[in-house]
Amino acid sequence: MAVVKIPDAGGDSMTLVEVDGHFFPKPPIQENPIDVIKGIRDLPIREDDVFVCAYPKCGTHWVWEMARLLLSEDTATVINKEKFMIEFVGNDVLEKLPSPRILNTHCLVEQLPRGVFEKKCKIIYILRNPKDMAVSFFHHHKKLSKIYEYDGKWENHLSLLMDGKVDYGSFCTYLKDWAAIGETHPDVPTLTLVYEDLKEDPLAGIRKLAKFLNAEKSEEFYLKVKELTSFNTMKEKKGSFFQADDGSPVMYRKGEVGDWKNYFTVAQNEAFDKLYKENMGDCDINFRYTLK
């Protein structure tokens, strides 16, 4: 492992850790990132472990909370999902968690613990349109100054992201890797949820998730889950877990579809579309970039 400083075109740089050729964030929670990251493949896995997986900034906190509420029915506890993140927390802590554990990660399919495939754990995979992800990731990198030490400009950050020089690497590589999971691991139950669909109709997403998790509940409970996982409620209850230097919550910024239009210039948008088309090839994901 090496701590690396990735320079952008404006002279700013982002601090990351590099493990076996992959970039990760400097873990905020534990002190020995190398052991935890290197140990991911061999992490002991239970049959009833559930995995919430997404490229960063695509809705992990939101869906993790939905799954937690559905599986535990515990509407009182407020928990930080980073405590269940396999690239930050080692087995010494994870093994003490009661089942079913709802683990989460931004890793590629090939980086997941082997046990996920051996035990055929349920995986919830989240997609979000990559332009809104790009804006969200920009703020994430700037606001978590103690982790990333990054203070670059939007345009230079966008280039870093498009070059895959951020934690978890190229988003196109990630999307292609995950799009193929039905072929690479057809026997692993995977539910794909889409951020824009959840925004449009959260109840439909919650019902779908409940069915997938064998955790079907009353309509009344689904309404409760919808309320407890609304952007404003989560921001209010969980916003203090990660705060920027100015006190603003890092994980609950705007929670909207289409904010990218406030950031991308016409030229940046064209370059982004071109990169996407060139890199994604036949892997055509029908992202929605705005909601009606």
Q: How far is it, in rounded angstroms, from Cα 95 to Cα 49?
A: 11
Q: Binding marks (x or -) toward ligand PPS, 235..274, rule CB under 6 A?
A: ----------------xxxxx---x---------------
Of the CA atoms within 13 Å of residue 73, those in its CB half-sphere come to 7
Interface of this chain with ligand PPS, residues 166 to 225, rule: CB under 6 A: none
Residues 52, 142, 234, 263: which binds ligand PPS (CB under 6 A)?
234
User: What is the DSSP code (8-state) at residue 98?
Assistant: P
**Under 8 Å between Cβ of 90 and 36:** yes
Cβ at position 81, least distance to ligand PPS in Å: 7
As measured in angstroms, the least distance from the Cβ of 132 to ligand PPS is: 6
Residue from the set 8, 229, 264, 268 that interacts with ligand PPS by CB under 6 A: 229
Residue closer to ligand PPS by CB (options 221, 231) is: 231
Here the tokens at position 280 are 């994604």
Computed over its alpha carbons, how large is the radius of gyration of the chain?
Answer: 18
Residue 211 CB, nearest approach to ligand PPS (Å): 20
Residues 6+ apart with CB under 8 A from 71: 50, 100, 102, 213, 215
Q: What share of residues in the chain are helix, strand, coil (percent, to 5)?
A: 45, 15, 40
CA atoms within 13 A on the CB side of 112: 32
42-to-26, 37, 114, 115 alpha-carbon distances in Å:
21, 10, 6, 7
Which residues, 110 to 139, sit near ligand PPS by CB under 6 A? 132, 136, 139
Q: Which of residues 18-57 bind ligand PPS (CB under 6 A)?
A: 54, 56-57
Which candidate, 15, 45, 48, places its Cα nearest to that of 151?
15
Question: Of 79, 128, 118, 119, which is closest to residue 102 (Cα–Cα)?
Answer: 79
Nearer Cβ to ligand PPS (149/259): 259
Helix (H) or strand (E) holding 15: strand 13-19
Near ligand PPS in 56-85, by CB under 6 A: 56-62
Q: Determine which one of 61, 106, 140, 141 is catalytic.
A: 106
The least CB distance from residue 118 to ligand PPS, in Å, is: 26
Q: Catalytic residue at 106?
A: yes
Beta carbon nearer to ligand PPS, 69 or 188: 69
Residue closer to ligand PPS (CB basis): 117 or 241: 241
- Minimum distance from CB of 282 to ligand PPS (Å)? 26
Of the pair 105, 268, the CB lying nearest ligand PPS is at 105
| Footprint of ligand PPS (CB under 6 A) | 54, 56-62, 132, 136, 139-140, 229-231, 234, 251-255, 259
Active site residues: 106
